[in-house]
Amino acid sequence: MNNYQKYKNDAIYSMSPVELLILLYDECNKNFRKAKIALQEDDYTLFESNLGRNQKIIMYLIKTLDMEYPISRDLRRLYDYILFDIGRLLAGRKRRIDELDALQEVIQNLRDGFDGASKQVSDTHTIAENRVLG
């Protein structure tokens, strides 16, 4: 492992759960932007690759939900919707940019909501296991 990769790993492992969540939402938004550009350029391989990355991120977010909290059930439904819509985009013959924009807006709203909430309250969650999937 080179020094840059070690630095990136150390930075990720030292983040709070909210910081990690925001990072994942930011990564989703970046992948949606890349998918949109790829779609405009008719690069369907890159389009599918970026949406596939987002599927992995959303599946990771689902796996990390603590279902003891009522908000987790709501987030699960929202994540399921996002996965369903990504699947439709991947399977569809007519791939529409407006559908990407709608998904990106959902992710951005989640990101902004968690970012705002984290600024209002201190993060009191503990990490059961500190590892990066992917």
Query: pTM of the prediction?
Result: 0.81
Measure the CA–CA gap between 84 and 66, rounded to whole angstroms: 21
Q: Does 131 fall in a domain?
A: no
- Three-point CA angle 84, 68, 124, nearest 5°: 105
Paired tokens of 73: 């059930």
Nearest alpha carbon to residue 54 among 77, 79, 78? 79
Q: Does 95 fall in a domain?
A: yes
Total structural domains within the chain? 1
Q: Does 133 fall in a domain?
A: no
So what's the pLDDT on residue 55? 97
For residue 16, give Cα distances in angstroms to 20, 30, 47, 90: 6, 21, 31, 33
Q: Does 127 fall in a domain?
A: no
Q: Does 126 fall in a domain?
A: no
Q: Does 10 fall in a domain?
A: no
CATH of the domain at 25: 1.20.120.340
Q: How many CB atoms lie within 10 A of CB 39?
A: 21
So what's the pLDDT on residue 125? 52
- Written as tens digits, the pLDDT of the chain (134 aa) is 687 777 767 777 777 888 899 999 999 999 999 999 999 999 999 999 999 999 999 999 999 999 999 999 999 999 999 999 999 999 875 668 888 999 999 999 999 998 888 887 765 555 455 555 55
| Full domain range(s) for residue 38 | 17-115
